[in-house]
Structure 1
């Protein structure tokens, strides 16, 4: 799933996000990649009972004290209302109570419901083909992945494709993609498989994902891209490969920094300095 829309950070500390990004958070929670997500509907009770997002809890101002005492401060909080106005007021209150990750959904319930329907429609559960290699079978078994769902997330929200990317195994990645593994999925931190391939420092793994049309500019839950990661971790060969593939160097993270601002080595700075604006 493409995730290039830039969220707006409110002065009170919460983030305003669009329906697509909100749907992605909810979808990942349903896959077990964001198990602590707290989802709140702040419309009136009748509207909530008539129709609401599965897993949402109805919330009123009167119930805030109880919620603050129950929901951990480290849990991500997602709030929607009718059109995106009341949810900002509630999000501000959560931020005031030192919740570190609070989201208000721009546009409210209707766009969010529509985005979730699209996201669920994209969902696939490809199974291991009968002709799969012994190496792929052994890999799935080693990490406890389900043969009947090659998009299943396990530890740290990693799917088989992400795990293979982290190991720097382009052979396994190609086999998984050929079997139908979803290249758009993101882990519990909002990173796609390309981020894990950058961690592995295996250029061939990066090339496999680029050929599969992975989102080069995916922004994770703090707005960071793979290019930012490569620059900040001092990996000039990865910076060069991502730039050659078409990664956007001008994207800014939630702290308003772009890749060149985060460069930790002279080599990375040299590669990115011409991209500064």
Structure 2
């Protein structure tokens, strides 16, 4: 067998590249393990070393989205506030990290995402739809304070009030009505928020919708 004698500088360079690749692979695995298990210390250390917060896992899921999905709140808030993080990430259902945080009622995370330019009024289903579905009044209030469109329409014309009436809490229905949501709107199926409340068998929401409709009628005379 022929014996190759590489110059020492080349050997050192190859060893450097090989060790760097191994180190990067280790960091990648450590990062996503820490994201999944909400290990703030490890994620902080890796970010300080220059690890990209927008890295995706083997399934193509960005770290921020994974942290929100796994309810790794400490890591999610760290990533959401990081200046290099692209806050407006979406999954394959066109749901943003802000939408998922709103659905779960994670107000601090919602605030950090909005402060880092997550889209409050994305086209189609919006964070306000999701906050209303979860019945989370503090998140609803915060989104409205940050210019969320109260009567935003989903692709089929469904509004946040409709979602609150069927899935949310009575408090979320009341909050949206008092904030000026239009109770007379109907979606493409011809259903109003009252219809949603009836279909969802939500007595409190039905009562609130009747009261809201009466006030709306009196106001628009």
Query: Is 1:200–2:134 an aligned residue pair?
Result: yes
Q: 1:248 to 1:210 in 2, by over 3 A?
A: same
Aligned 1:184-199 pairs, distance under 5 A = 184-186=121-123, 190-199=124-133
Structure 1 gap ranges (5+): 1-127, 129-134
Query: Is 1:250–2:187 an aligned residue pair?
Result: no
2:202 to 246, 249, 265: 265
Q: For 1:246 and 1:207, how far apart are their aligned partners in 2?
A: 12
Which is higher, the Rg of structure 1 or of structure 2? 2
Q: For 1:142 and 1:182, how far apart are their aligned partners in 2?
A: 16
Query: Is 1:183–2:183 an aligned residue pair?
Result: no
Count of equivalent residues: 139
Which digits, 9 at most, give the CA deviation of each residue in 1:102-156, with x for residues without a partner? xxxxxxxxxxxxxxxxxxxxxxxxxx9xxxxxx877117999xx95421121242
Q: 1:136 to 1:179 in 2, by over 3 A?
A: farther
Which structure has more RCO (C-alpha within 8 Å, separation ≥ 6)? 1
RMSD across aligned positions (CA): 2.9
When normalised by structure 2's length, the TM-score is 0.55
SS at match of 1:165: helix
Q: For 1:243 and 1:214, how far apart are their aligned partners in 2?
A: 15
Structure 2 gap ranges (5+): 1-63, 65-71
Q: 1:136 to 1:178 in 2, by over 3 A?
A: farther
2:99 to 162, 167, 171: 162
SS at match of 1:157: coil
Q: In the alignment, which residue of structure 2 is the partner of 1:139?
A: 76
Q: For 1:235 and 1:210, how far apart are their aligned partners in 2?
A: 17
Question: How big is the shift at 1:192?
Answer: 0.1
Larger helix percent: 2
Q: For 1:232 and 1:217, how far apart are their aligned partners in 2?
A: 16
Larger strand percent: 1
